[in-house]
Structure 1
Amino acid sequence: MRDDTRQWIEADKRHAWHPFTPQDAWTDPAHEPLVIVRGEGPWLWDSEGRRYLDGNSSIWTNIHGHAHPSINAAIRDQLGRIAHSSYLGFAHPLAGELAEKLCSFFPAGTLERVFFSDDGSTAIEVAMKMSLQFRMQTGHAERRGFIAFADGYHGDTLGAASLGGVSRFFERFRGMGPEVGFVRSVEELETKDPAGINAVVIEPLIQGVNEMRPWPAGMLRALRAWCDRHGVLLILDEVMTGFGRTGTLFACQREGVIPDFLCVAKGLTGGYLPMAATLTTGRIYDAFRGPAENAFYYGHSFTANPLGCAAALASLSLFESERVLEKLPAKADHLAGLLSRLQADRDEVVDVRQCGLVAGIELRTGLGAEVCLKARDHGLLTRPIRDTLVLMPPLCVETEHLDLAVDAIRSAIRSLPPAAELR
């Protein structure tokens, strides 16, 4: 190990606190974490000079690859002007331009307003608080309950966490946030009394932290119809699925559904900078007009950060100039073929689940973490959710990169010790 690598790791173990990480395991002297120092395209390099395919887009964020010249140039240009200015009582050119661009992806008269925040959790918090205040200001304050789907994940701030269905993450905080009921299907939702329900929240097309589990075709349309019949607001969490992951720019476009709130983050800036947006309708916005007490008193110091806006606009323009969406179906089909053969070849693979370039490879119990670690030896970097390996590369990957990723998983499984293979 190089001296600088050792120094970085020692400082980290002495002072840093990593998310979703048992700290005793992290700080164990035998544990040697990777120190990522560089990226280019779909590749990452660690401090020891080893190269890896970024198999989960740096926690589901990167879209066009690392160090993309166009996004780099946009950030540098904006940095030469101003890095940040307040969005409270002021405006700046790129924020209005980005808001207009985001709204342009939806039919006129639908999603017309954009509220910027910092990350996926805050995008959800905005939708939750905005929907509750909307009810208060339209004479329906009694409609304060939320419905979420079992095993879903919507962030870690207290309001967003109350919607979470993964017990390991959220059970200890039950009852500390808003009123939330949980269902597993639209059919179960039909049994609920809608009278006090404010909004339903869902990850459209596929649940992420629930081991990459797709919803049945047509489910989202059925959910929109139920909400319309009962006057319930629909909040779509597209923090993971947005910006091309499922094959369309937004997952809801696959079923022609327009929500009352659309929450995006992660890929909004191409995975470069922390930034989020909550899109909503003119009907919601109009309820906040009028006297000062109707205003939405919520915000963040870095709302509409100019560097983030510059990165986001550059990222969105790449979807057109590089024909990203046009190229995705062939890549998704190629990945589907690779995963099908992997499942047929290896008994350790229990199931494969895919939606666009989002895939989950479920392994036999106890193998997930081991296979991920061994895949590093074959040039693939990703993380498991329990025993499901996530394969969600940047959209810039080519078929040979997908070949490498699946071959790395196959080789990692083959390299398991006999005791692991028998589990």
Structure 2
Amino acid sequence: MPTTKSPIWHPFTQHALQGEMTKVVRADGAYLHTADGRRIIDAISSWWVVTHGHCHPHIVSAIQEQAGKLNQIIFAGYTHDPAEELAAQLLKVAPRGLDYVFFSDSGSTSVEVALKMALGYWHNIGQQRRCIVVMQHSYHGDTIGAMSVGARGVFNAAYGPLLFDVTSIPFPASGREQATLAALESACRNEVPAAFLVEPLILGAGGMLMYPAWVLTAMKRICEASDVLFIADEVMTGWGRTGSLFACEQANVTPDIACYSKGLTGGALPLAVTLCRAHIFGAHYSKDRMRTFYHSSSYTANPVACAAAKANLDLWWHRDSRERAASLAAMQERAIEPFRSDARFENVRRSGTITALDLKTSDGGYLADIGPKLQAFFNDRNLLLRPLGNTIYVMPPYCVTAADLDEIYAAIGDAADALA
């Protein structure tokens, strides 16, 4: 039997290869402070969730105040001010045309909700559409439905018997965008799908793959022409990451269903929402209880999490938050520019505040041997960077400084010399 010092089973961790876990005792801004006295720059926003910075005082204050008033209540038949106020604010900042908000607790569950909304819509209007169209290399979470609509591979190989079939279209790589659009048009015409599910502008766990906004616009038009529901998974791309509050804004697209999580609470607490158009809610609105939307979790719309999210939106209403995100995007462009001509790297790219580049190695992909070596190298340099195989990406909180970025990119260059 394996022996470990702790009984905890960590996510996405092979314990037979992982050394002792780094114990973090506190955090502030863009920094993590460890039990052994180190200060680590959080260069990936603690798995893409932290936006304004760790332990932002306005969000912390909102959590403390709400926890002393109402910390949890069943959300079937009951409601509360933090949820009502948050929903109203979300509909003000989300793409115009989204009308209803359904709460859940993670990115995966927000996608599960979206899939069930889409299938329930068609069922309730008397059309048995079941096919879901997705994009190659996509990732939408680790619950069964979310895995089913993600790319088949290392993340879900062991669970194949549980997954339902989907129709996949190719990723719109540069110069091959028309092939993607043609494949989507063919799928919409021949499969008569219930929905098309897509990560707007950038595929995260699939390798930080980026494509232009005009492709997203064209995909939405194809779906509209065939009356196929368009689902935008903005779990990672939302909250300023791609240069606008939500990635769909850059394509002038309003999805039929949108999924938001990660930065929804500024990274303070788990919460997710699935927004939809009125006709999808309307298909479930009936005196016939069989048409009820049968989905919930025990902590749906937890008041403390909703208060944190509302505080996060308060910050986004202020110009300085958006200016800070825009400033980070500009700093990221300056920092990544020298790597575009660096022969050690390829596919150097940026979308808003996110940069990514591929280290040239003899092997690539998520399981490339270079990945754990890079991660260990960065940890020794007091940086939280978690490469996707040979793909190194930088997605820091918006409060990161230019000096922090200099330290991050210097380490990336040094890693190429030491490990490539």
- Same fold (TM > 0.5): yes
Partner AA of 1:33 in structure 2: M
Over residues 91-133 of structure 1, what are the superposed CA-to-partner deviations in whole Å (9 max), with x where a residue is unaligned? 011101111111112465x101000001001000001011101
2:281 pairs with 1:289? no
Corresponding residue SS for 2:255: coil
TM-aligned CA distance change 1:40 to 1:228, over 3 Å: same
Q: Which moved more, 1:266-275 or 1:389-398?
A: 389-398
TM-aligned CA distance change 1:56 to 1:283, over 3 Å: same
Q: In structure 2, which of residues 70, 77, 101 is the aligned counterpart of residue 82 of structure 1?
A: 70
Corresponding residue SS for 2:17: helix
Q: In structure 1, which of residues 293, 303, 306 is the aligned counterpart of residue 303 of structure 2?
A: 306
Match of 1:5 in 2: none
Query: How far apart, CA to CA, are the structure 2 residues paired with 1:223 and 1:37?
Result: 45
Partner AA of 2:293 in structure 1: F
Corresponding residue SS for 1:218: helix
Match of 1:160 in 2: 146
2:10 pairs with 1:18? yes
Shift of 1:87: 0.8
Shift of 1:58: 0.3
Shift of 1:175: 5.5
Q: In structure 2, which of residues 114, 127, 132 is the aligned counterpart of residue 127 of structure 1?
A: 114
Matches within 5 A, 1:313-352: 313-321=310-318, 323-345=320-342, 347-352=343-348
2:156 pairs with 1:170? yes
Q: In structure 2, which of residues 100, 104, 126 is the aligned counterpart of residue 117 of structure 1?
A: 104
Shift of 1:398: 2.7
Query: How far apart, CA to CA, are the structure 2 residues paired with 1:170 and 1:335?
Result: 33
Partner AA of 1:191 in structure 2: S
Match of 1:3 in 2: none
Query: How far apart, CA to CA, are the structure 1 residues paired with 2:51 and 2:416?
Result: 28
Kept after mapping to 2: 8 A contact 1:56/1:383: yes
Kept after mapping to 2: 8 A contact 1:245/1:395: no
Kept after mapping to 2: 8 A contact 1:153/1:165: yes
Kept after mapping to 2: 8 A contact 1:342/1:406: no
Shift of 1:145: 0.5
Shift of 1:195: 4.7
Partner AA of 2:277 in structure 1: T
Shift of 1:396: 1.9
Shift of 1:364: 2.2
Q: In structure 1, which of residues 173, 177, 182 is the aligned counterpart of residue 168 of structure 2?
A: 182
Kept after mapping to 1: 8 A contact 2:332/2:354: no
Kept after mapping to 2: 8 A contact 1:146/1:178: no
Q: In structure 2, which of residues 122, 125, 133 is the aligned counterpart of residue 147 of structure 1?
A: 133
Kept after mapping to 1: 8 A contact 2:324/2:399: no
Give the aligned CA root-mean-square deviation in angstroms.
Answer: 1.8
TM-aligned CA distance change 1:12 to 1:70, over 3 Å: farther
TM-aligned CA distance change 1:207 to 1:253, over 3 Å: same
Corresponding residue SS for 1:23: coil
Q: In structure 1, which of residues 27, 37, 47 is the aligned counterpart of residue 25 of structure 2?
A: 37
2:372 pairs with 1:369? yes
Q: Which moved more, 1:248-257 or 1:326-335?
A: 326-335
Corresponding residue SS for 1:395: coil
Query: How far apart, CA to CA, are the structure 2 residues paired with 1:112 and 1:397?
Result: 35
Partner AA of 2:334 in structure 1: G
Q: Which moved more, 1:156-165 or 1:191-200?
A: 191-200
Gaps of 5+ in 1: 1-9
Match of 1:97 in 2: 85
Query: How far apart, CA to CA, are the structure 1 residues paired with 2:17 and 2:381?
Result: 24
Match of 1:247 in 2: 243
Query: Percent same amino acid at aligned positions?
Result: 38
How high is the TM-score relative to the length of structure 1?
A: 0.90
Corresponding residue SS for 1:219: helix
Q: In structure 2, which of residues 341, 350, 356 is the aligned counterpart of residue 354 of structure 1?
A: 350
Shift of 1:216: 3.0
Q: Which moved more, 1:180-189 or 1:299-308?
A: 180-189
Query: How far apart, CA to CA, are the structure 2 residues paired with 1:326 and 1:173?
Result: 44
Kept after mapping to 2: 8 A contact 1:263/1:276: yes
Kept after mapping to 2: 8 A contact 1:194/1:230: no
Corresponding residue SS for 2:100: strand
Extract structure 1 runs of 4+ deviating beyond 6 A: none
Partner AA of 1:190 in structure 2: E
How high is the TM-score relative to the length of structure 2?
A: 0.91
Shift of 1:322: 5.6
Over residues 384-406 of structure 1, what are the superposed CA-to-partner deviations in whole Å (9 max), with x where a residue is unaligned? 11111121001222322222221
Over residues 216-270 of structure 1, what are the superposed CA-to-partner deviations in whole Å (9 max), with x where a residue is unaligned? 3411101100000001001110000011111111110111100010001111111
